[in-house]
């Protein structure tokens, strides 16, 4: 298993996941404060350390200072995770609070979508950039939103209340939010573009 958790300095999660499912726990420097309050000891803290000092981090935690301002702390953490040959990242604290950070985090996730499996979690939903074909099971009656980033072509869905049959979504013309799974098994495929799928918890 090569799944890791990455905590960012967005809205603090109300529910902390089962941390036993992760090989390692990473966090950015800004997220360390709330993990400390929750008595969660990450394995790695990385970032430019503009919000806390490295001296505040216990010696048993690995500290990686990443001062390059051409990249966000999230991107730099993803680089470290990729370099260490982990393949799947569950991201917490990516949304909420400052919305420009949220949009920036989505953009960073998009940059790495072909290199890592990245799944974002918040207190309302989980979301990810879809492969060309996605199979979902066990979400009947759950809200599923399809969001083009910014244009997606040739979308075909099965098992949704409002099906798409080789249709396009465009951020400025038509988006696919607030659809609903009507079957236990849902299939979503697309031909071109970057499709963000939100599944309500």
pTM of the model: 0.94
Quickly tell me which residue has 């990729």 as its tokens. Answer: 82
| Alpha-carbon Rg for the chain in angstroms | 18
Contact 145, 177 (CB under 8 A): yes
pLDDT given at position 98: 78
Tens place of pLDDT per residue across the chain (201 aa): 699 999 999 898 898 899 999 999 999 998 999 999 999 999 999 998 887 888 889 999 999 999 888 889 999 999 999 999 999 999 999 987 778 889 999 999 999 999 999 999 999 999 999 999 999 999 999 999 999 999 999 999 999 999 999 999 999 999 999 999 999 999 999 999 999 999 999
């Amino acid at each position: 298993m090569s799944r890791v958790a990455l905590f960012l300095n967005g809205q603090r999660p109300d529910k902390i996941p089962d941390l036993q499912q992760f090989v390692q726990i990473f966090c950015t420097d800004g997220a360390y404060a709330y993990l400390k309050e929750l008595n969660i000891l990450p394995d790695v803290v990385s970032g430019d350390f503009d919000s806390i000092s490295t001296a505040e981090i216990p010696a048993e935690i690995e500290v990686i200072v990443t001062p390059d301002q051409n990249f966000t702390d999230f991107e730099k953490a993803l680089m470290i995770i990729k370099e260490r040959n982990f393949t799947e990242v569950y991201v917490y604290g990516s949304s909420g609070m400052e919305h420009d950070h949220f949009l920036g985090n989505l953009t960073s996730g998009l940059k790495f979508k072909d290199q890592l499996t990245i799944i974002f979690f918040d207190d309302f939903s989980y979301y990810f950039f879809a492969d060309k074909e996605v199979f979902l099971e066990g979400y009947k009656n759950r809200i599923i939103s399809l969001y083009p980033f910014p244009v997606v072509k040739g979308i075909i869905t099965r098992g949704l209340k409002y099906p798409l049959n080789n249709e396009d979504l465009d951020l400025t013309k038509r988006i696919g939010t607030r659809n609903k799974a009507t079957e236990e098994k849902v299939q979503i495929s697309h031909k071109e573009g970057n499709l963000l799928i939100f599944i309500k918890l």
